[in-house]
Amino acid sequence: MIYPSFGNGYFRGKIAYEGKICDSSSEVLQRAECPRLTVRRSLRRNSRLICSDMPTIVNLGGPFYPAYKSKNPTFSADTFACAETTVSQLLHTATTSDHPGMLLGKVQSGKTRTFISILAVAFDNGYDIAIVLSKNSRALIEQTTKRLHSEFADFVNDGEMEIYDIMHAPEFFEANELESKLIFVAKKQSDNLRRLIDLFSENCPAMASRRVLIIDDEADNASIGYTNKQGLIEANKIAAQISDLRQAIQQTSFLQVTATPYSLYLQTAEVDVSNRTSFSPTRPKFTELVPVPPEYVGGDTYFGEAARSADDTLQSLIHYTVDHREFDRLKSDDRRRFKVEEAMTSLAVEGYRHAFVTFIVGGCIQRINGIKAGAKPRKLKYSFLLHSEAGKGAHNWQETLTVTLKEKLTEAASADAASFTDLVRASYDDLRRSLVLDAQPVPTFGEVLAAAKAAVTEGQISIKKVNSDDDVAALLDNSGQLKLSNTFNVFIGGQVIDRGVTLANLIGFYYGRRPNRYQQDTVLQHSRMYGYRRPDLAVTRFYTSPAIRHAMFQMEEFDSTLRGTFESAKAAGTDASVQFIGRAGDGSIIPCSPNKILIATTQTLRPFKRLLPVGFQTFHRTGKNGIGKTIEALDVRVLELCGFNADAPALVPLQTALDLLAQIETTLDFPEDDAPPFPWDAARAALCHLSQQHPDAAQRGQVLLWAARDRKSARMAAPGSHATYIETPDSEKTEGVLTRTHAISHPILFLLRQDGEKEKGWNDTPFYWPVIRAQANKHPAVYTSESI
């Protein structure tokens, strides 16, 4: 193991050792009590302490890191601590090509600032060269290079460091040039990677003997991948080239950086590929978590428990439900469905119109409050994103629609029309609820109306398409954000507005992407509303359909379970583990290879997890699919098993619970396209799995059962709610207490008998609404009903 030092075997400056700052190498050695210490001179002016028994030492007093820290006083202490710990891990952990280190952040949480901090620490700890691999985007590679030049400008000016885009770097470096620290930035693209490989292996082999840190930014993007061709697994070209690069360098540490690590963690240990004689899959050796401060707004805010609340919360009010058929109207100009000249009034685009107006109203509210607090008006700018299609034709139509809507609003505002006032009033009333909950000032409606009128009549709104790398390159500023050239900025785009692109002050996001199969990493990277946005949260809105929102809730649950496992394992000093399970052909529950799962088909099982159908309608009492007799039979059976509204649940065999679910399934219908389908097979499989987790083998295969009657839940959520359908037939006061009191090692099945009254939206017949809840003692698991 190698421990860098500076000057004749002694460290100069401060050194971190076991969490304590030491003043000298002698103090470190005294603390370490290391018996076998030798010093050798390196090829350069530095020397290194070498000792196989010595614990990790990180030099914090070199020429790079202290200067970098002093230049960035706004960075949190946690960010710098993460950088120091990561370098410590890289120094003492053999990050082989098969098992690199992992820097795991969240979407737009500050991963770039953290890995640049890591570079500064690494250069003071024996690393000579850094390679930063980035997404295959010309705009973003230029941005990354600019960012590095900005952060390390003083070192570049002093000749201590050189930074190159690999496609513009010299083909050969003399020995004296290698005395400077070198950073190469490269796209994960064939020509870029080939040039890197040639530089290290052929053109300048002296580089291959230097200590190199490879940082693979957005590591799951292009770095990992296999293709199935006629039954043969082939490594994707980019993944294979990165593997070649790793093997060309003698002393390398490899650090992957991402917020969506699923393709990295969820790989099998070995991969046989037909198009490679040697290929090593990439799985993390260690994981360091990017610190996330309280002002960060992410998946937990948008799709956590508070966002699901039936009561108004700041998180639940973010959501505005859009009719899924509206997405088709925003895809192309079809006058049979919608006439663009009716953009101001047509119900066909009601959701998008409300989103556009609410964006303006929200921005006006923030500007009014900001100016009253002393902010400069020119600095108060806001953005809105429309992302519902990938095609450029759709973007052209959306631009036409948005421009027309703005023109219609301008006409109405100029004429002081009641239609304009009504639209502003609806948005104002919507946002007012959030402002009150967040204890924020609420300007008068008159102030907001006047500001909104000025916004649409005085040229304060800009509308821009962003659907190519060239568009992104033209609009990015030096900080990697899309330029806000006007007070209100509407961006219309698709896939190019994802990784690495940030929209400052984003307070409105209309999202309608509907793939046949949702990919976790892709959808999360679309989530441009994440970031350090807490001050604007009360006026922020997210517009999508119930089905898309349901999928994103599933993804957040999976993401938080996986991330939570890493965090708890790190705190306990143990290995992180999540169970992946599937259904075998004979119906049994078996372990599942995690790299085979499809996220959208999963059920994440963790303590007290709820599984229940939502958005259904009952069949009628009589007729072809009449459910009257089935409900009567269920009434008799439930009374025998556990009774109604008992003080405690009854313990029943698993098969009994499965039979009850099978009967209830025949009584519920899912006629709506926008209702998330309930995976009955997955629910039964999950219940089977949960029933087998009791520590006492004799107690396995049993389920707690509790039933209630005379419930009167409505089918549809109340007007103005973030949800379309009621999602909480159970309550924390009753069912929640029963779960936490009794469901310790057994899962519990609630059967909530509803009156099903017509005025509540049902078909005027009683029915049972089932709710499954996992037990407290449940190790995190992911069940998939469909594998790749």
Amino acid 594: pLDDT? 47
Asked if 461 and 377 touch (Cβ cutoff 8 Å), the reply is no
Res. 514: pLDDT tops 90: no
Other CB atoms within a 10 A radius of the CB of residue 404 amount to: 15
Assign 444 a pLDDT band (cuts: 50, 70, 90): very high
Strands (DSSP E) contained in 176-225 are: 181-187, 211-217
Other CB atoms within a 10 A radius of the CB of residue 590 amount to: 10
Amino acid 271: pLDDT? 39
Strands (DSSP E) contained in 36-192 are: 38-41, 47-50, 57-59, 101-104, 129-134, 161-165, 181-187
Side chain identity at 52, as an amino acid letter?
Answer: S
Query: Is the model more confident about 604 or about 256?
Result: 256
Pairing, β 506-511 against β 211-217: unpaired
Average pLDDT over residues 37-51: 32
| Helix or strand run (H / E) with residue 560 | helix 546-572
Write out pLDDT tens, residues 342-395. 999 999 999 999 999 999 999 999 999 999 999 999 899 999 999 888 788 999
> Of 151-155, 168-172, 269-273, where does mean pLDDT reach its minimum?
269-273
| The length of the chain, given as a count of residues | 788
Alpha carbons within 13 A on the beta-carbon side of 312: 15
Average pLDDT over residues 642-665: 96
Amino acid 217: pLDDT? 86
Amino acid 164: pLDDT? 95
Give dist(CA 148, CA 140) in Å, integer.
12
Average pLDDT over residues 480-488: 85
Alpha carbons within 13 A on the beta-carbon side of 93: 21
Amino acid 43: pLDDT? 28
Nearest CA-CA partner of 638 in 750, 755, 733? 750
Amino acid 221: pLDDT? 47
> Of 577-581, 700-704, 769-773, 778-782, where does mean pLDDT reach its minimum?
577-581
Asked if 764 and 719 touch (Cβ cutoff 8 Å), the reply is no
Give dist(CA 768, CA 751) in Å, integer.
6
**CA dist 466 → 387, 404, 604 (Å):** 10, 19, 35
Amino acid 119: pLDDT? 97
Q: Is the dihedral of CA 177, 179, 183, 184 positive or negative?
A: positive
Most confident of 239-243, 492-496, 695-699, 779-783: 695-699
Side chain identity at 495, as an amino acid letter?
Answer: Q
Strands (DSSP E) contained in 584-682 are: 589-591, 602-605, 610-611, 617-618, 650-653, 668-669
Give dist(CA 521, CA 334) in Å, integer.
33
Query: Is the model more confident about 380 or about 296?
Result: 380
Pairing, β 161-165 against β 286-289: unpaired
Strands (DSSP E) contained in 51-98 are: 57-59
Query: Is the model more confident about 567 or about 294?
Result: 294
Average pLDDT over residues 681-705: 91
Asked if 208 and 201 touch (Cβ cutoff 8 Å), the reply is yes
Sheet holding 20-22, edge to edge: 20-22, 15-17, 57-59
Assign 496 a pLDDT band (cuts: 50, 70, 90): low
Give dist(CA 604, CA 207) in Å, integer.
47
Give dist(CA 417, CA 28) in Å, integer.
76
Give dist(CA 603, CA 742) in Å, integer.
23
With tokens 């020397």, the residue in question is: 47
Strands (DSSP E) contained in 305-409 are: 319-321, 382-387
Give dist(CA 566, CA 740) in Å, integer.
25
Write out pLDDT tens, residues 215-258. 988 765 444 444 444 443 344 677 778 888 888 888 889 898 88
3-class SS letters over 670-731: CCCCCCCCCCHHHHHHHHHHHHCCCCCHHHCCEEEEEEEEEECCCCECCCCCCCCECCCCCC
Give dist(CA 174, CA 157) in Å, integer.
20
State the average pLDDT for the chain. Answer: 81
- Residue spans of alpha helices (H) in 199-266: 205-208, 237-248, 262-265
Res. 456: pLDDT tops 80: yes
Amino acid 310: pLDDT? 74
Asked if 115 and 75 touch (Cβ cutoff 8 Å), the reply is no
Asked if 95 and 103 touch (Cβ cutoff 8 Å), the reply is no
Amino acid 46: pLDDT? 33
Average pLDDT over residues 668-689: 84
Res. 195: pLDDT tops 90: yes
| Helix or strand run (H / E) with residue 636 | helix 628-641
Average pLDDT over residues 172-179: 92
* Coil vs helix vs strand at 658: helix
Reading phi first (left if > 0) and then psi (alpha if -120 to 50, else beta), residue 130 is in beta
Write out pLDDT tens, residues 421-441. 999 999 999 999 999 999 999
Average pLDDT over residues 745-750: 97
* Coil vs helix vs strand at 452: helix
Amino acid 631: pLDDT? 96
Res. 291: pLDDT tops 80: yes
Write out pLDDT tens, residues 558-585. 777 777 776 776 666 665 555 555 555 5
Res. 86: pLDDT tops 50: yes
Q: pTM of the prediction?
A: 0.75
Res. 13: pLDDT tops 60: no
Res. 205: pLDDT tops 50: yes
Percent of the chain with pLDDT over 90: 51
Res. 35: pLDDT tops 50: no
Give dist(CA 650, CA 749) in Å, integer.
10
Amino acid 723: pLDDT? 74
Nearest CA-CA partner of 567 in 316, 312, 743, 780? 780
Average pLDDT over residues 660-686: 87
Side chain identity at 395, as an amino acid letter?
Answer: H
Write out pLDDT tens, residues 307-322. 878 788 999 999 999 9
Average pLDDT over residues 385-411: 93
Amino acid 453: pLDDT? 98
Packing angle of the helix pair 77-92, 111-123 (nearest 10 deg): 50
> Of 135-139, 395-399, 470-474, where does mean pLDDT reach its minimum?
470-474
| Helix or strand run (H / E) with residue 256 | strand 251-258
Res. 14: pLDDT tops 80: no
Res. 66: pLDDT tops 50: yes
Write out pLDDT tens, residues 94-143. 775 557 788 888 878 888 899 999 999 999 999 999 999 988 777 778 88
Res. 712: pLDDT tops 60: yes
Assign 419 a pLDDT band (cuts: 50, 70, 90): very high
* Coil vs helix vs strand at 317: helix
Amino acid 269: pLDDT? 42
